[in-house]
Amino acid sequence: MRHPISILSGRMRLVSESPLFTQERDQTGVSHNKVTRPLVLCPILFEQRYGRAEPWQVAVTANGLLQPRAPRKAARLEQVVKRHRAAGVRCRLGLALITPDDFRRRLRHSNASFTHEQSPSHLPRSDNWQPRLRSDIYGWSLLYQLPSMQGVALIDAHESFTDLPAFYESPLELLDRSSFLAARGISTRPIALVTRPEDFEVVENTAEVRNKFLPNALFCCPCPLNTFL
């Protein structure tokens, strides 16, 4: 019997310092950044083992779908992150998004099934209940696997931010790059690059908290690990 894929509804707000993506504020000073609502497959853990200029690596399934191989339980995933960091391995969490291939290949099998986790207003509280994901994001990263690779995929390093993988603020740029690689037989999967608590620091001699990468952007509270799962 195959295990169903659990699909979560995301609610993600792109935050940027770029004038192209900065939204107008109303009279209350609130910034109205565009909110997207992608479908999320599962958390993803990527690591950078061989230097800051090297691509980030992700353990993935061997079925060609680039589904991340990482613990689904928040507590277990937290343990993996702590263990990697204690060993000096730089790692980061993100969210793998659903692709059409997830549906096409599953629906070839009559015993395949999907479940869709609904929002809190439509689903009674239980041990299996999962909330709607809410997070600020830097943008969209692209996971890819070269034809010679097995069990691992890559995300390019960012040119400016040494502790972040490369990402696109525009979904159109992401799709353009994905189409370019697909035409060359290279599989890809989009990743939501969410903010994390470790991305923020307290400004000296103040109570102000700012983002280390985009100090002039207005962020909501960073996404804790247990909201992923």
How far from the centroid of its chain's Cα atoms is residue 99's Cα? 14
Distance separating alpha carbons of residues 135 and 158, to the nearest angstrom: 21
Confidence of residue 16 (pLDDT cuts 50, 70, 90): confident
Query: How is 55-121 classified by DSSP, letter by letter?
Result: PEEEEB-SSSS--B-S-SSHHHHHHHHHHHHHTT-EEEEEEEEP-HHHHHHHTTSTT--EEEEPPGG
Residue 74 has pLDDT above 90, yes or no: no
Choose among 144, 214, 139: nearest CA to 170. Answer: 139
Residue 104 has pLDDT above 50, yes or no: yes
In the prediction, which pLDDT does 107 show?
56
**Tokens at 49, concatenated:** 């083992």
Distance separating alpha carbons of residues 189 and 220, to the nearest angstrom: 26
Residue 176 has pLDDT above 90, yes or no: yes
What is the amino acid identity at position 184?
Answer: R
Name the domain count of the chain: 1
Residue environment code for 45-70, b if the CB has 16+ CB neighbours within 10 A, otherwise e: bbbbeeeeeebbbbebeeeebbbbeb
Residue 155 has pLDDT above 80, yes or no: yes
In the prediction, which pLDDT does 218 show?
84
Confidence of residue 40 (pLDDT cuts 50, 70, 90): confident
The residue segments making up the domain with residue 182 are: 5-227
Can you tell me which residue has the tokens 């589904």? Answer: 67
Residue 118 has pLDDT above 90, yes or no: no
Can you tell me which residue has the tokens 């479940």? Answer: 115
- Please say whether the beta carbons of 196 and 93 come within 8 A: yes
Residue 164 has pLDDT above 90, yes or no: yes
Choose among 188, 140, 146: nearest CA to 165. Answer: 140
In the prediction, which pLDDT does 53 show?
84
Residues 41-71: tens digit of each pLDDT: 888 898 988 778 899 999 998 888 898 887 8
